Amino acid sequence: MLRRLFLLVAALALVAAGCGDDDDGGNGDQGGPKTPTTQATTGTTATGTTAYKSQVQTILGSVGTAGTTLGTAARASRSTADLGRALETFQSSVEGAADRLRDLEAPEEATEGQDELEQVLREIASGVQPSIEAARAGDRAKFQQEFRAYQRKLDGEYRRRLTAAGEKIDRALAGQ
């Protein structure tokens, strides 16, 4: 069971690390605060694009952090109720990340990818609900069954879709 939670953490961290990566030759951020207001006013200039990518990476990084926190909580858990509470916290964090993406003003060319990214995060958050419910009920066998099914989606469909959305954003911002 814990092995599956660790795989979840790794999958989320990999996706968070990969999305929005830019090839700026190591120059890093071009300056300016990283806020939606700044991005909205700078449009798709180099600085605006860099700030936008940074904001997306920060949001996805929060999902990776939520996954790491989930793994830590799972190691410390003593019951399915503990696991349920840890999953609820994870779910809330992923929902919050989806909300932050929704509120982030994307450059026009990146809107479609951002919308897809938000949708997958919402599905990840709602997809864990059956595991939470089984944990709340104290049904360890049902919890394991539900969580295995969720893990398969995370490792497969969700991961592919997150990666594709991130690549779509990168391509759009690169003008491809």
What was the pLDDT predicted at 46? 55
Element spanning 167, H or E: helix 159-174
Task: Please write the tens of the pLDDT for every residue from 30-54.
Answer: 333 333 333 333 344 556 888 998 9
List Cβ neighbours of 164 (8 Å cut-off, separation of 6 or more): 116
Length, in residues, of the chain = 176
* 110 vs 27: which has the higher pLDDT: 110
Q: What is the largest CA-CA distance in the chain?
A: 53
Residue with tokens 């003593």: 78
Rounded Cα distance between 68 and 132, Å, is 18
**Where does 1-79 have alpha helices with state H?**
2-18, 36-42, 46-76
Residue type, 7: L
CA dist list (Å): 50 to 35, 39, 62, 114, 129: 11, 9, 18, 15, 35
Rounded Cα distance between 175 and 92, Å, is 34
User: Comparing C-alpha atoms, which of 175, 176, 156, 173 is closest to residue 56?
Assistant: 173
Rounded Cα distance between 110 and 172, Å, is 5
Rounded Cα distance between 161 and 39, Å, is 25
* 72 vs 20: which has the higher pLDDT: 72
Tokens of 111: 């809107």
| Interaxial angle between packed helices 80-103 and 111-127, expressed in degrees from 0 to 180 and rounded to the nearest 10 | 160
Model confidence at 175, pLDDT cuts 50, 70, 90, reads confident
Task: Please write the tens of the pLDDT for every residue from 162-174.
Answer: 999 999 999 998 8
Rounded Cα distance between 56 and 69, Å, is 20
